[in-house]
Amino acid sequence: MKPSPTDTLCTRCGLCCDGSLFADVELANGDEASALEVMGLEIEDADKDGGGLLLQPCGALKGRRCRIYPHRPDCCRTFACRLLQEVELGAVGVERAKEKIAEALKRIERVKELVVQLGTGDERLPLTEHCAEALALSEAADPAMNRKRAELQAAMTAVERLLQATFLGG
């Protein structure tokens, strides 16, 4: 049987789980939140209207795969990014989609390298916050560091545009 686009693409991507696209995902109800908490995942605002927020990077992500896949919440079951939708509609081929994912991962990797070179940042944060923290904490550094900061800012802006256009739409 031919693998589905989800099997082929999501297992080499994980950007909607690792904090690159989202800072959190909204849960449907308290039962869902409790079940995920029992599995050791971090939930925020669990008492407010509905089920709370599953924080990202998601603790259930192992490599690029969900380790609780059969038990993942509704929001994860129903989400399909723009790229996945385009592949399912036949507007983008699977090979082209793989290239787009590889390009996004490569650029994100570069952003993370620059954050490490600045010597700051908490990698448990979503990508944008991780980057913003690194930039804030490394302010008033020497000229070489300032060039690195400018490189990080430019790389992050480019990544945000790419993620928006490819995975979120518009």
Provide the minimum distance between the beta carbon of 141 and ligand SF4 in the complex, in angstroms, as a whole number: 34
CB of 4 vs ligand SF4, minimal distance in Å: 11
Assigned token pair, 142: 């020497």
Q: Tell me the closest approach of the beta carbon of residue 140 to ligand SF4, in angstroms.
A: 36
Site string for ligand SF4, 51-70 (x = CB under 6 A): -------x-xx----x-x--
DSSP string, 2-63: PPPHHHHHGGG--TTTTTSS-SEEE-S-HHHHHHHHHTT--EESTTSSSS-EEESS-TTEET
Amino acid (one-letter) located at 127: L
Binding positions for ligand SF4, rule: CB under 6 A:
9-10, 13-17, 25, 58, 60-61, 66, 68, 72, 76, 80-81, 83-84, 167
